[in-house]
Amino acid sequence: MLRGASWLLVVLVVGCVRPVRVETRETPVETGLEVPFVADGVRRWDFGDGSAPVSSAQLTHAFSKAGRYVVRGFEGEALREQVTLIVSPRGVFHLVPPDVKWAVMARGLEDLPPAVDFAERLVGAASTQNWLERYPLHGWALDQATAGAQWVDPREGLAYFAWDDSDEVRLSVVGVTSAKDALAALETWLLDRGWNFVSEVQGLARFEQEERALDLFVDRGALYAVDAPLTRRQPGVQQRIAAAPSLGLEQDGKVASALDQLPSGALVVWARAPVGAAWLQLAGTVRLSGDEAHLEARLIGAAPLWTVPPSEGPRLLSHAPEGPIAAAVASIAPRQLADLVLGTEGTPRRKGIHEDLSLQGAELERALDGLAGTFDATLYVDVESFVRKTIEAGGRPQPQATLLFEAAVKDRAPVEALLDAWVRRWQVPVTKSVERQLRLWRGSASGRRVEIALTHQALFAQSGASVGSREPADLTQSLGTRFEGAFGPGHVSVFFDVGQLRRELLTPRLMDDVDPRNALTAQALAVTVLDRLTQLDLALFDASPTADGAAIQAVVRLRAKD
């Protein structure tokens, strides 16, 4: 009888024990963001991340590192709640507020060393290091990434941005794994580099160096640095960041869609259009590969930003002299080009130019209608003039070049009025001659010969020495093949070939009035100066219309390392 009662008691006790509530969070959980925990009574919560347990019925907790965590809630010694969380790194897009003017973002800190190395080769080590010293959070994050990322999360990346109302105030942000330790490490790093600690109030540490101010604070697991001139500090930045939504740039559905469609790449660039622009936003990625950086971007609008002109007319690039160091084409309706470059009609800049030309007797809008929509230009180095001018200057390099420009014309009269106004406005010393089918302006500017010819079909201009000795070439086809359709109908393309410039300067030149040894010395000096300035080999920019804006590609290629 007693044995049967014992079994009954066990069954009753087991039946009264409440089962453990087990939950797996399916919604995304990111580092640094507060996660709520709710129970029907007071619990002692163990978060499984090494932090001290907390007793409460309702509370929030942020996880500083990504990973899988099992959170347990105890009532006394009894387990009552169990929650499994998968915590992921907070994406760099979420670290940037959605109302910024522009942002440059590294998706991961491992992308910083290659980007810095590329920048040092492109603009020089001194310029790159000066930039890192000016914005020290980048330099500190780079050191952290190189040394093993002790206090930063390399998967959360780094961002650099500014608001529209504070262009002189620049912000940098990097995800950290421990706010206290990261701040302490950065403060020590700053003191070692000559920054002076000023104060720490309500979580904001202030440093100064010469005319610069630097404010540091942590928000939701990310370390922010606010750089500004001492006289232009902007109050309330910390509160502005705190009020930003946790999704950051991706809070805006259109921005999130644009960012989602970006191809892979080390760096991401994003910008909001200025007032009056024909586009709304720019989104793109930069891919680094050895000696080359490749940008793929989109200008996003409500419709194509321009249309392909129905008739291209004359094209300089199809029969240009070979060997240019630069070439450009804009196969676009003139008014649409003005919208992109100057802003739409009525915007302050466009209006100011219109009023300035009106005072000189020309009408901007009529002149735009008089052009047919194809603009071509090529640039050539004038080595002979360079050698002579450099020797006359005592060995100081004197760059000399020849510029050719051509545009298609459909109404000569307003274009002629525009050219006359330009000559009067800038007081260019030229003389004008008129023939039956030709208007010709001849003269000089800055010591270079200038010649402008206008017919009923085309406008042609040349500045500098003649390049008639060079063989003609179809640059439209060769450059289009080389750069995947650039320089074609509807494209705005610009190409700069430093490699060709070096080859021109390295080619010996025999001139009757110059000692060959002096000529070679001047040319070798120019190449040496060029190589010290940059290792750039070529650069290309190309844009073409799409259904919702325009597609952009840009290529920057460096010379191969010796």
What is the domain partition of the chain in residue ranges? 19-88, 92-252, 305-546
pLDDT value, residue 287:
95
Q: pLDDT confidence of 149, banded at 50, 70, 90?
A: low
pLDDT of residue 431: 93
Instruction: Pick the more confident residue, 263 or 2.
Output: 263
Work out the percent of the chain whose per-residue pLDDT is above 90.
67
Is the distance from CB of 517 to CB of 468 less than 8 angstroms?
no
Measured CA to CA, the distance from residue 432 to residue 417 in angstroms comes to 12
Q: Residue range 6-31: average pLDDT? A: 59
| pLDDT above 60 for 13 | no
Residue 383 vs residues 282, 328, 400: alpha-carbon distances, Å: 40, 21, 7
Give the strand pairing for 78-88 and 67-75: antiparallel
pLDDT in tens, 232-252: 877 889 999 999 999 999 999
- The contacts of residue 387 (CB under 8 Å, 6+ apart) are 509, 511, 514, 518, 519, 522, 523
Provide the mean pLDDT of the chain: 89
What pLDDT score does 207 carry?
96
Superfamily of domain 19-88, CATH level 4? Immunoglobulins (2.60.40.10)
Report CA-CA distances (Å) from 167 to 158, 164, 226, 266, 289. 19, 6, 12, 25, 32
- For helices 383-392 and 516-533, what crossing angle results, to 10°? 100
**pLDDT score recorded for residue 547:** 92
Q: Which helix (H) or strand (E) holds 326?
A: strand 326-331
Residue 15 is predicted with a pLDDT of 43
pLDDT tens digit string along 87-103? 999 999 999 999 999 99
pLDDT of amino acid 18:
62
Token pair in block for residue 549: 């804006």
117: β partners: none
* Mean pLDDT value of segment 545-558: 95
Query: pLDDT per residue over 282-302, tens digit each?
Result: 999 999 988 999 999 999 998
Tell me the pLDDT tens digit for each residue of 175-184: 999 889 999 9
| pLDDT tens readout for residues 323-361 | 999 999 999 889 888 887 888 888 888 888 889 888 888
At 482-503, the pLDDT tens digits run 998 899 889 999 999 999 999 9
Q: What is the pLDDT of residue 148?
A: 74
User: By C-alpha distance, which of 505, 562, 550, 508 is closest to 530?
Assistant: 505
Task: Give the separation between CA 512 and CA 32, rounded to whole angstroms.
Answer: 74
Token pair listed for 426: 């800038």
| pLDDT number for residue 545 | 93
Measured between its terminal Cα atoms, the distance across the chain in Å is 97
Q: Where are the alpha helices (DSSP H) in 435-561?
A: 475-482, 498-506, 516-533
**Above 50 in pLDDT, residue 438?**
yes
Whole-number Å distance between alpha carbons of 421 and 138? 49
Name the maximum alpha-carbon separation found in the chain: 131
